[in-house]
Amino acid sequence: GNSVTQMEGPVTLSEEAFLTINCTYTATGYPSLFWYVQYPGEGLQLLLKATKADDKGSNKGFEATYRKETTSFHLEKGSVQVSDSAVYFCALSSRDNNNDMRFGAGTRLTVKP
């Protein structure tokens, strides 16, 4: 079945450091890929998405590129801020699976000043 595997946390970085959170997936067909973010005490929010191979999703300085050849959707940001501290979830949805969303376990990011 469809599944997502993401880098285990927690990840601790200093402000302005470069961030990469790895995500790989297993899916039949052509899934859409997503990154969701959960800030402390808040609900899940869509951060970015990509719906087909080679698409790049971007938002708030974060980027991720849909790589079909490596079945990956790694999240990157060039310079993190303290306000980026949150839990990040990689997810996929597929028409072959009623379009329900399958999530990774989440990666907790803490950015220190």
Partner 1 sequence: GAGVSQSPRYKVAKRGQDVALRCDPISGHVSLFWYQQALGQGPEFLTYFQNEAQLDKSGLPSDRFFAERPEGSVSTLKIQRTQQEDSAVYLCASSVLPGNTIYFGEGSWLTVV
CB 44 within 8 Å of CB 30: no
In angstroms, the CA 73 to CA 94 distance is 15
- By CB under 8 A, tell whether 45 contacts partner 1: yes
Of positions 73, 89, 92, 109, contacts partner 1 by CB under 8 A: 89
- Tokens describing residue 111: 């950015």
Q: Does 102 bind partner 1 (CB under 8 A)?
A: yes
Q: Pairing mode, if any, of strands 86-93 and 32-38?
A: antiparallel
Alpha-carbon distances, residue 102 vs 2, 12, 34, 83, 99 (angstroms): 7, 26, 10, 26, 9
For position 43 contacting partner 1 by CB under 8 A, the verdict is yes
Q: Considering only residues 8 through 37, tell me which ones interact with partner 1, judged by CB under 8 A.
A: 32, 36
* Segment interacting with partner 1, rule: CB under 8 A, options 20-28, 52-60, 62-70, 88-96: 88-96
- 3-state SS of 42-64 is CCEEEEEEECCCCCEEEECCEEE
From the list 49, 66, 75, 111, which residue makes contact with partner 1 (rule: CB under 8 A)? 49
Residue 70 sits in the site that holds partner 1 (CB under 8 A): no
Task: By CB under 8 A, tell whether 98 contacts partner 1.
Answer: yes
Q: From the CB of 21, what's the least distance to partner 1, in Å? A: 13
Does 103 help bind partner 1 (rule: CB under 8 A)?
A: yes
